[in-house]
Structure 1
Amino acid sequence: MRWKVALLTASDKGSRGEREDTSAQVIRELIDEELGGEIVDYRVVPDDQDEIRAALIEMVDYYQADLVLTTGGIGLGLRDVTPEATMMIADRNVPGMAEVMRAAVSKDSASGMLFRGVCVIRNRTLIVNLPGEPKGVHEQLMAIMNVLPEALLQVKGLRKDEQ
């Protein structure tokens, strides 16, 4: 099955064109090579709760992405509001995935425990918050990559033998 994936970057500097979105490129490569997914929407918004929330709703409700991956805005800074915006539009929480992602980074660096990203479901879409730097994106996304196909099937209400 070819999964429809939307990608949202939360970055003040990125939204103003002052920073290249290198984390999004890492995500694109992993989605193509590891998941066999197709990027159906990509956008960069400021670290603003309302803008992040609106973009997530559109990606899920309009583009009907199977998976939405966010990058950026999950640290402890005052403008890091991606988890809050994500939780505001969530139907259900998937804490185990976020715990595995944090654990994967924390084993090599104590700063991994400062990542506040969440994994949630809205409608029949899985939303995963990733950090804003390429190394963290790679480590955290790879930590859950092996379970993503099964998780996406379950979110869609399907079983492995029904794909």
Structure 2
Amino acid sequence: MFWKVALLSASDKGARGEREDTSAQVIRELVEEELEGEIVEYRVVPDEKDEIQAALIEMIDYFQADLVLTTGGTGLGLRDVTPEATLKVCDRVVPGMAEAIRAAAMQRTRRAMLFRGVAAIRSNTLVINLPGDPKGVTEALMAIMDMIPSALLQVKGIGRDLDA
């Protein structure tokens, strides 16, 4: 199945053009190769809760992305607000996906317990927060990649529910 994917990078330096968004390129490659999806929208916004929320809403409601992947803003810094912005615009959480990302990363480094990313649903779109660095993005996506199609089918109402 073809998946429409939107990519949102939360980065003050990226939004000002002071840093190349290498994590987004990694995500783009993995989405195209592993998920057989297409990036339908890509945006870099500063670490501002309101701007992240507005971008997520537009990607979901206007571009009708099946999946929105965010990168950045998931640490403990004062400006790391991507999880809060995600939860503000979403209706339901999918805790197992974020737990799987943390568990996989913990195999490599105990610092992974500081990752605050979430996975959640708005309407019939799955939103997954990823770390901001390319290595972390690869590790995180590969930890859950095999379950993303099943999750998307369930969110769309075409997959098998776990309760069924």
**TM-score if structure 2 supplies the norm length?**
0.97
Q: Match of 1:128?
A: 128
Query: Which aligned pairs between 1:79-158 and structure 2 lie closer than 5 A?
Result: 79-158=79-158
Q: Deviations over 1:40-85 (max 9, x none)?
A: 0000000000000000000000000000000000000000000000
Aligned residue type for 1:76? L
Query: Which aligned pairs between 1:33-72 and structure 2 lie closer than 5 A?
Result: 33-72=33-72
For residues 77 and 107 of structure 1, what CA distance do their matches in structure 2 show? 23
Aligned residue type for 1:138? T
For residue 37 of structure 1, report the CA deviation from its aligned partner: 0.1
Find the residue that maps to 2:158 and give its secondary structure.
coil
For residues 66 and 150 of structure 1, what CA distance do their matches in structure 2 show? 12
For residue 11 of structure 1, report the CA deviation from its aligned partner: 0.1
- Note the aligned Cα RMSD (angstroms): 0.7
For residues 159 and 99 of structure 2, what CA distance do their matches in structure 1 show? 24
For residues 90 and 97 of structure 2, what CA distance do their matches in structure 1 show? 15
Q: Which runs of 4+ in 1 moved over 3 A?
A: none
Aligned length: 160
Find the residue that maps to 1:68 and give its secondary structure.
strand
Aligned residue type for 2:117? G
For residue 159 of structure 1, report the CA deviation from its aligned partner: 2.5
**TM-score if structure 1 supplies the norm length?**
0.97
Structure 1, unaligned stretches of length 5 or more? Answer: none
For residues 159 and 73 of structure 1, what CA distance do their matches in structure 2 show? 31
For residue 132 of structure 1, report the CA deviation from its aligned partner: 0.4
Structure 2, unaligned stretches of length 5 or more? Answer: none
Aligned residue type for 1:16? R
